[in-house]
Amino acid sequence: MTRIYATPANETPESPVKKTRSETFVYEKDKEWEPAGEGVTRQIMGYDGQVMLVKVKFEKGAIGTPHTHYHTQTTYVASGKFEFTIGGEKKIVQAGDGLYMEPDILHGCVCLEPGVLIDCFAPMRADFLH
């Protein structure tokens, strides 16, 4: 089945972005890295009310403080090496590996080698927006 997406008559390519979603194209070079903890920074790479993609950069030894949230989270290890603890289970992951965190499960990590994680949240993390 082919889907056709129409642009509403009152919306143009120059229309301001709605607060309920990000820009359509998000370029790393145009995004500031936001502080997200000691030795941790992030870039929000796209979102709407249903989903959010976030790139998180860690320095060696940086800690992703253990926490919970009601969002479903999947994480892809783009680079580096991390020790993750999810629901009391501790594993080491590295570039190319993936993780799944169900809602409300305690999870956190320690960065063993500098790297980048790609986090996907559903629904989006409104608390990450300014």
87 CB neighbour count, 10 Å cutoff: 11
Residues 6+ apart with CB under 8 A from 97: 76, 77
d(CA 66, CA 91): 14
pLDDT for 54-111, tens place per residue?
A: 999 999 999 999 999 999 999 999 999 999 999 999 999 999 999 999 999 999 999 9
Residues 6+ apart with CB under 8 A from 93: 77, 81, 82, 84, 99
- pLDDT tier, 130 (very low <50, low <70, confident <90, very high otherwise): confident
Taking residues 11-40, what's their average pLDDT?
82
User: Domains in the chain, start-ordered, CATH in brackets?
Assistant: 41-125 (2.60.120.10)
The reply to whether omega before 16 is within 30° of 0 (cis) is: no
pLDDT at residue 10 above 50? no
pLDDT at 15: 52
